[in-house]
Chains A and B, each alone.
Chain A
Amino acid sequence: MPAATRTVQETGPADLPAVAAGLLAEGRRLALVAAHHDDAAAPGGRALRVVYLFVSGPPDTRLEVHVRLDADRPELPTLAHRSFAAGRFEREMHDLHGVRVQDHPLPRRLVRHFHWPRGWYPMRPDAGPPPAFGAQEGPYPFLEVEGDGVYEIPVGPVHAGLIEPGHFRFSVVGETILKLKARLWFVHKGIEKLFEGRTVERGLPLAERISGDTAVGHALAYCLAVEEATGTEVPGEAQRARAMLLELERMYNHVTDLGALCNDVGHSVLNSHALRIREQLLRVNETVTGHRLLRGGVVVGGARLESVPEPGLLRAVREDIREVAALALGHSTVRDRFTGTAVLGADVARDLGCLGYVARAAGLTDDARIAHPFTVYDPAPDVAVRTTGDVLARFQIRAEEIDTAVDLATALAPGLRPGTVRADPAGGPRSGVGIVEGWRGTITTRVELAADGTLARVKPVDPSFFNWPALPLALADTIVPDFPLTNKSFNLSYAGNDL
């Protein structure tokens, strides 16, 4: 497996918009933006360095644009007019690093919690420990929709079900949603800050916990980035074991959501069956890695398996899941609830930079297993695509992805043996990028190491960061009682988004 090449290009702030526009016009995707506070010992001297990572594939190409800003008065021209995702990364950088973005079309806070004290930017080197909640930075109003019979429904951040916190503000006429505003970042934990100064090994447990249901995805993206940074040549068998773990994670998460979607339309018998199948898969996970959520399987430089799953068992599970999906889609009421609900168009999905099954249900074909493979897939993954963009399409994509996941896992398993396979670092460029198709979509992690080998900066980007803005757009003209179903069909991570 030839390693993907990563090229770095230095640009001044003034040239950035033109350079970025050129790269985007070539069909590259802005996968990640991270700010770094370089001190005087850094090669370029003291600066606030912003890294833009543009990727495309196949063939797997990764291109970084580095922009140096004044460390004390960082100012950046906005790319928001050219890329919606860039606009959100810029707001994130403003809230966490204090970077001023010129002419931003939506200069509102994003990450900044309502009560964070004015002028405190947690990612700055001199930020210190989190202070007490203090005077807020200006008002933080919701856009008010006015008109006859328009009313607001505030929901959350604490919900009736056992889900993560997020506040949703609906503006509604009758039962029809005119506008939805999702306010997140209630579970901002400062993960990026917690990575700083850790050894590479101690960073791994943190990466596994970025989003509890994506332990393999985030751990793998982190490890791939670290391995590039340290020049580690991971053995092929370990890469195949990782690919199999990734598919096991996809299976148990997808089947859970198939059941949850049925439950949300009141057809709970299929949820009971989906939960039964999930439990079978979690027990398989436990025998494979020693952990029901697959923690500990991916290690820095390799993989560790306690056992190899039985292909026959996985195929039996696939038959079981196919039956549940067929029963759901054969039920006229369930199908009626799914069909045409919360349509996300392909244009919107492309403009927002949506990833994963949300994008594939809208007709985009992106899949990092094809675009940015870390191992040779044989057979090549069969990427399921639908064009209707509704809840039904997202349900069907999930069901078909389970099929593909079982195909891949059963193809990969026979060549694997229990035990740890890993390689040692050989010296590398001290920075690296990992791109992985997690079950929710493409996860990108960028790592920079300090001279002593500890983590200087880790920036993980969960696909939820790209997909959250799609939810309100899909909901326009949907009725309020269909929101929970739509939300479940997206099933975005709050923890992975809030970091």
Chain B
Amino acid sequence: MSALGYAAIAAQAGAVVVGAPLLTGWMRQVRARLEGRAGAGTAQPWRDLRKLLRKEPITAAGTGPAFRVAPALLVASTLVVAALIPLVSTATPISGHADAILVVGLLALGTVTLALAGLDTGTAFGGMGSSREMTISALVEPTILLAVFALSIPAGSTNLAAIISGAAEDPARLASPAGLLATAALAVAVLAETGRIPVDNPSTHLELTMVHEAMVLEYAGPDLALVELGAQMRLTVLLGLQASLFVPWGIATAGDSWGSLLLALAVLAVKVAALGALLAAAEVFWAKLRLFRVPELLAGSFLLALLAVTASYFLGTGGGIL
């Protein structure tokens, strides 16, 4: 059991690190094909990372520790989240610590780290990007917390493993109004948190419209590789979390064998790839919102999350904390 549990942790973390650039490449490829372009191929982000890692490390003049530690801290905090949350198995030696509030906190740590790094550069773009990122973040974090809270009410715990195994046993919870509202709220929050259209445009070259890219404009070489990898891992982790929360089948549980662990890994890959393709396809039909409209969108998603919590109180049945 213990060996299997540790193997599950390693599999989750490994899958996120290896898979994150592939997911980004896959999403770009889906988008390119839908737009009638050939695309650079699924492995292109890995090739980019390899190119960046081979470059000479350079830090911008006048930057301090916040700028230097941010890339490593971003990747490390995301890696902890990847190991913690039940992506492949709900029964790992650390799944007892997979608290939803802790996970949101770890993701916020990565965001704040990058925002500080952006400020540390002392450039107008860094400050502008950080300011925008914090504005969006301040609106997104409560939504994520509230959505997870709505889901935790039937399970009676904020532990993600408990929420997910509970939902796998009782799928009616997911189809409940609370479950559906929370799904929608979390989906919008994930879009904002990972800097996708309609909130931010990850492929833009227009420096004045950037949010995430403006913060990291001063990074080069291996540091940039880490920042890119960190951003890709966050997207993978959040899509993986969403998949686990709302399609909780196929995840290995206590007492499962090595075979089911491998199966769970394959199922995870399929679920995340499908979600990614869906997101990429949707992005083709969307356009980026005016920056001042973004709070309206996020306020809407917060309202959905609030409704989800309310609904689970008023409509919630059996097994909950009521």
In the assembled complex, the Cα of A152 lies from the Cα of B286 at a distance in Å of 32
Cross-chain contact B198 with A155 (CB below 8 angstroms) = no
**B288 at interface by CB-CB < 8 Å:** yes
Contact partner of A159 among B128, B207, B287, B289, CB < 8 A?
A: B207
In the assembled complex, the Cα of A262 lies from the Cα of B291 at a distance in Å of 16
A484 surroundings in chain B (CB, below 8 A): 206, 208-209
**A416 at interface by CB-CB < 8 Å:** no
**A151 at interface by CB-CB < 8 Å:** yes
Chain A window 140-160, contacts with chain B (Cβ cutoff 8 Å), 1 for yes, 0 for no: 000000000001111100011
In the assembled complex, the Cα of A160 lies from the Cα of B125 at a distance in Å of 12
In the assembled complex, the Cα of A155 lies from the Cα of B125 at a distance in Å of 9
Which chain A residues in 253-286 approach chain B with CB under 8 Å?
A: 262, 264-269, 272-273, 276
Cross-chain contact B124 with A333 (CB below 8 angstroms) = no
Task: Please name the residue on chain A nearest to B32 by beta carbon.
Answer: A272
In the assembled complex, the Cα of A29 lies from the Cα of B203 at a distance in Å of 44
Cross-chain contact A151 with B208 (CB below 8 angstroms) = no
Cross-chain contact B290 with A266 (CB below 8 angstroms) = no
Task: Please name the residue on chain A nearest to B285 by beta carbon.
Answer: A269
Cross-chain contact B205 with A161 (CB below 8 angstroms) = yes
Cross-chain contact B284 with A269 (CB below 8 angstroms) = yes
B206 surroundings in chain A (CB, below 8 A): 160-161, 264, 484
Contact partner of B35 among A154, A175, A268, CB < 8 A?
A: A268
**B83 at interface by CB-CB < 8 Å:** no
Distance from B121 Cβ to chain A, minimum over Cβ atoms (Å):
13
Task: Please name the residue on chain B nearest to A151 by beta carbon.
Answer: B124
Distance from A152 Cβ to chain B, minimum over Cβ atoms (Å):
7
Task: Please name the residue on chain B nearest to A162 by beta carbon.
Answer: B205
Contact partner of B201 among A151, A153, A266, CB < 8 A?
A: A266
Contact partner of A266 among B125, B198, B293, CB < 8 A?
A: B198
**B127 at interface by CB-CB < 8 Å:** yes
Identify the interface centre among A268, A273, A484: most chain B CB within 10 Å of its CB: A268
Q: How large is the interface on A (under 10, 10 to 19, 20 to 34, 35 or more residues)?
A: 20 to 34
Which chain B residues in 232-247 approach chain A with CB under 8 Å?
A: none
Cross-chain contact A337 with B35 (CB below 8 angstroms) = no
Contact partner of B292 among A155, A175, A262, CB < 8 A?
A: A175
**B204 at interface by CB-CB < 8 Å:** yes
In the assembled complex, the Cα of A269 lies from the Cα of B30 at a distance in Å of 12
Identify the interface centre among B124, B286, B287, B289: most chain A CB within 10 Å of its CB: B287
Which chain B residues in 82-131 approach chain A with CB under 8 Å?
A: 124-125, 127-128
In the assembled complex, the Cα of A481 lies from the Cα of B34 at a distance in Å of 27
A262 surroundings in chain B (CB, below 8 A): 287
Identify the interface centre among A160, A265, A333, A481: most chain B CB within 10 Å of its CB: A481
**B54 at interface by CB-CB < 8 Å:** no
Contact partner of A265 among B36, B125, B203, B288, CB < 8 A?
A: B288
Contact partner of A160 among B35, B207, B288, B293, CB < 8 A?
A: B207
Distance from A403 Cβ to chain B, minimum over Cβ atoms (Å):
24
Task: Please name the residue on chain B nearest to A263 by beta carbon.
Answer: B204
**A192 at interface by CB-CB < 8 Å:** no
Distance from B94 Cβ to chain A, minimum over Cβ atoms (Å):
39
Task: Please name the residue on chain A nearest to B291 by beta carbon.
Answer: A481
Distance from B279 Cβ to chain A, minimum over Cβ atoms (Å):
14
In the assembled complex, the Cα of A152 lies from the Cα of B123 at a distance in Å of 10
**A75 at interface by CB-CB < 8 Å:** no
In the assembled complex, the Cα of A300 lies from the Cα of B284 at a distance in Å of 48
Distance from A474 Cβ to chain B, minimum over Cβ atoms (Å):
15
Which chain A residues in 45-84 approach chain B with CB under 8 Å?
A: none
Contact partner of B287 among A265, A276, A481, CB < 8 A?
A: A265
Distance from B212 Cβ to chain A, minimum over Cβ atoms (Å):
13
Cross-chain contact A153 with B291 (CB below 8 angstroms) = no
Contact partner of B289 among A264, A272, A333, A480, CB < 8 A?
A: A333
Chain B window 187-208, contacts with chain A (Cβ cutoff 8 Å), 1 for yes, 0 for no: 0000000000110010111111
B204 surroundings in chain A (CB, below 8 A): 266
Which chain B residues in 270-293 approach chain A with CB under 8 Å?
A: 284-293
A480 touching B287 in the complex, CB below 8 Å, given contacts A155-B207, A160-B205: no
Task: Please name the residue on chain A nearest to B201 by beta carbon.
Answer: A266
Chain A window 276-318, contacts with chain B (Cβ cutoff 8 Å), 1 for yes, 0 for no: 1000000000000000000000000000000000000000000
In the assembled complex, the Cα of A331 lies from the Cα of B128 at a distance in Å of 29
- A interface residues (Cβ-Cβ under 8 A, vs B): 151-155, 159-161, 175, 262, 264-269, 272-273, 276, 331, 333-334, 336-337, 479-484
Offer 17 A-B interface pairs, CB within 8 angstroms, sorted by A: A154-B124, A262-B287, A265-B288, A266-B201, A267-B286, A268-B203, A269-B284, A331-B287, A333-B198, A333-B289, A334-B287, A336-B289, A336-B290, A336-B293, A479-B290, A482-B290, A483-B208
